[in-house]
Amino acid sequence: MTTNARPHCWLYVFLIGGVLLGSPLRAPANESSAVILFADDFTRALEQWSVEQMPGGRTAVQQGSLIIEDAGGTTVWFRPRLVAPVEISYEVEVIFRGGAHDRLSDLNCFWMAQDPTQATDALPAGRSGRFKDYDNLLTYYVGYGGNNNSTTRFRRYDGTSERPLLPAHDLRVSSFLLIPNHVYHIKLIAQNGLVEFWRDGEKIFSHRDPQPLSSGYFGFRTVRSHLVIKKFIVRRL
């Protein structure tokens, strides 16, 4: 793991009265914009993250980025518990330049995740990184460019091994699949039962959950790929 001692330049535009990295931010009383709860510009170690990774992979902070190079499955959990209504945003690139872990597939994520066998405020950590280990979660999940970049899917895990999938949430046309070495701007929403996944300003999935997951944890997820992640922000809507 490496860190970078440069000033947290990009975060300065988000300061409201002055805060430390990762500290809750509160807008002035007359400010109508969303409140920034957490942020990470990845110039420190992985202190806000819990890594679950199969052998052969590497996860590190390097030069203002979270780097995931995966061989058999990785989930990187954000440690703070999130409570809806929230918006999660970040930039991410799937590296495809001939490296050992470069594969155009699996730009995935969990949000509002809970393990029903644990306390609601317990980080659902302690797994191996294998995908099947996460079947028992209650969570929202998007597998963007999964199955060797042939599918993009949204699921609402129900705590069983079923991984329910609605036909409208199974996208297979090229406009919803991955582009190599493209910096994606991802936004996730959980608000009053409304769940959304946005990519580059375009809403890809929108779902009304009759039994909304109102709190839980966020995690980056991938398998056999090379991700570079920047500018992670959680806002209170």
Domain boundaries, the chain: 9-236
- Arch. (CATH architecture) of 9-236: Sandwich (2.60)
Both tokens assigned to 75? 């989930």
All residues at 6 or more sequence positions from 5 whose CB lies less than 8 Å from its CB, including other chains? 43
Q: Are 223 and 73 in contact (CB under 8 A)?
A: yes
Sign of CA dihedral 165, 188, 191, 122: positive
CA distance readout (Å), 91 to 30, 73, 164, 227, 228? 29, 20, 28, 10, 8
* pLDDT tens digit at each of 237 positions of the chain: 443 434 333 333 333 333 333 333 333 333 346 899 999 999 989 999 999 999 999 999 999 999 999 999 999 999 999 999 999 999 999 999 999 999 999 999 999 999 999 998 999 999 999 999 999 999 999 999 999 999 999 999 999 988 999 999 999 999 999 999 999 999 999 999 999 999 999 999 999 999 999 999 999 999 999 999 999 999 999
Q: Are 137 and 120 in contact (CB under 8 A)?
A: no
CA distance readout (Å), 203 to 3, 13, 186, 196, 197? 34, 25, 10, 7, 6
| Cα-Cα end-to-end distance for the chain | 33
φ, ψ of residue 218 to 5 degrees: the values are -105, 145
**pTM of the entire predicted model:** 0.86
DSSP letters, 150-202, are: TEEEEEEEESSS-----GGGEE-SGGGS--TT-EEEEEEEEETTEEEEEETTE
β-pairing verdict for 74-78 and 82-83: unpaired
**CB-CB neighbours of 67 under 10 Å:** 18
